[in-house]
Amino acid sequence: MPNIKSGRRLVSLVICSILVFAANSMAAQPKGKLTTSDKKVIDFLVNDWGKDYSVTSVDIAMDAVGVKQSEETRFRIGSYIKAHPELHEVIRRWGWVTLVLTPDEKLIARVLINAEREGKPNPSVSEIAKAVGTGEGQTNSGLAMLERYEILKRDNAAGGPSYTVVPRYLKWEPRLDFLFHTVTLERGRRFNTN
Amino acid sequence: MLLVSGKLANEKITIDDSSPEGTARIHVEFDKGKLVKADPDSTILFMGGG
């Protein structure tokens, strides 16, 4: 009997070890690792940038190659572009911010930046939503994305969260920053230009 | 606008843009280089390229 008990203990120990090993292996995987479809989006962009003054953004490229829109995917690809300016001259010339944000996110950033530049109080989420013409849910998603990219900082104030702009973006080319010009041709091609 | 009146002059094009001064959205449509729609009406257009 002692042999059976110790055998069971050994089996349990082996199973536990396998589970711990599997959990550690999953945790060790890099979170920002590009998937095959992410790489397709990057390849599309690198090939598209510069043609017809193109500064096409990640969201448009995802549509072009048939990748389902998702904030996680867009953030993963955008973070890669942010970390790899050597990919293309367009990233170095126009900046990663121009390429990774959606038009709504750029407008949300601009509401906060303009308020801070003009010395006005930080607008609330509902004020931002009204100014940009987005619903509050969409505005919150945009604010969260801008926070993830460290363009905004969130303050958990008593009256609800408020956001401030990271100083470097306040000094970043007033009136020329966070712009978008989306061109759609009837034959189907869609791109951003500057 | 250089594209609209140059390389893409034979195309039907829409441009979605915004006012750099604020957050107003601008939507303009061109057909073969000619403006066919501008929203809002107060949109001011500078056509480059002569």
A108 and A79 within one domain: no
Instruction: Read off the pLDDT of each residue in A153-180 and give the average, rounded to a whole number.
Output: 81
Residue extents of the structural domains in chain B:
2-39
Q: How many CA atoms lie within 13 A of B46 on its CB side?
A: 1
Across the interface, of A111, A132, A181, the residue whose CB is closest to B17 is: A181
**List of chain A residues whose C-beta atoms are within 8 Å of the C-beta of residue B23:** 107, 110-111, 114, 131-133
Whether residue A176 lies within 8 A of chain B, CB to CB, comes out as yes
Smallest CA-to-CA distance from A77 within A69, A107, A184 is with A69
A40 and A76 within one domain: yes
pLDDT value at residue A4: 59
Residue type, A72: E
Across the interface, do A182 and B8 touch by the CB < 8 Å criterion?
Answer: no
Across the interface, do B14 and A183 touch by the CB < 8 Å criterion?
Answer: yes
Shortest Cα distance, chain B CAs vs residue A189, angstroms: 10
**List of chain A residues whose C-beta atoms are within 8 Å of the C-beta of residue B3:** 52-53, 183, 193
Whether residue A11 has pLDDT greater than 90: no
Specify the number of domains making up chain A.
3
- The domain containing residue A119 runs over which residues? 103-170
A40 and A14 within one domain: no
Residue ranges of alpha helices (H) inside A29-182 are 36-48, 58-65, 71-83, 89-94, 96-100, 103-117, 125-132, 136-148, 167-170
∠ CA(A94), CA(A97), CA(A103), 5° rounding?
105
A121 and A166 within one domain: yes
Across the interface, of A53, A132, A183, the residue whose CB is closest to B23 is: A132
Question: Which token pair is B34?
Answer: 């000619």
A135 and A48 within one domain: no
A46 and A90 within one domain: yes
A184 and A129 within one domain: no
User: Rounded to an integer, what distance in angstroms lies between the CA atom of residue A130 and that of residue A125?
Assistant: 9
A166 and A107 within one domain: yes
CATH number at residue A155: 1.10.10.10
B14 neighbors B7 (Cβ within 8 angstroms): no
A24 and A8 within one domain: yes
pLDDT value at residue A21: 47
Across the interface, do B12 and A186 touch by the CB < 8 Å criterion?
Answer: yes
Across the interface, do A183 and B13 touch by the CB < 8 Å criterion?
Answer: yes
**pLDDT (tens digit, 9 = 90+) per residue, A30-44?**
456 899 999 999 999
User: Rounded to an integer, what distance in angstroms lies between the CA atom of residue B50 and that of residue B45?
Assistant: 13
A149 neighbors A78 (Cβ within 8 angstroms): yes
Check: pTM over 0.90? Answer yes or no: no
